[in-house]
Amino acid sequence: MSAETSSSGPVFTQVRLVGQPEEVDRLMTLLSGGAEVIFDSPSQPDERGEIERVARVVSHPVPRPVTPEHGAQVTVQVVLEADGAAFAGRDREAAAREVEESVARSVESVPHVRRASSRVVSLWGLPAARE
């Protein structure tokens, strides 16, 4: 784990996880549940089946108070489960852009939201359902 700081801006901490895809994904989900996280793309599995994923965690050392005249920036992380047909056989980048645009349009309808942007952080296939 490493951290970069500046006197007036946010603090970025980098976390590197290496292991089996299911376990790394579970840990990234836990990490994103408690922090504002920016992910990179997971690596391809190595000969042991392990992947590497890096998360950059963003924190703000001196929170700015919200004022009516300036507004606020709210970061929300959402996990969506989609039908397999929505992504199967499609270009990942094109599918990700479609999701980003759809989510941003949907969120802009939330009361008091001036503008919304969205970014796909991770796109993974779901495991088969246990019977």
pLDDT at 36: 79
pLDDT at 1: 54
pLDDT at 131: 57
pLDDT at 65: 83
Separation between Cα atoms, residue 40 and residue 33, nearest integer Å: 17
Those residues of the chain that have pLDDT short of 50 are: 5-6
Interval 85-96: pLDDT, tens: 878 888 888 888
Our separate counts of H helices and E strands in the chain read: 2, 4
pTM assigned to the model: 0.53
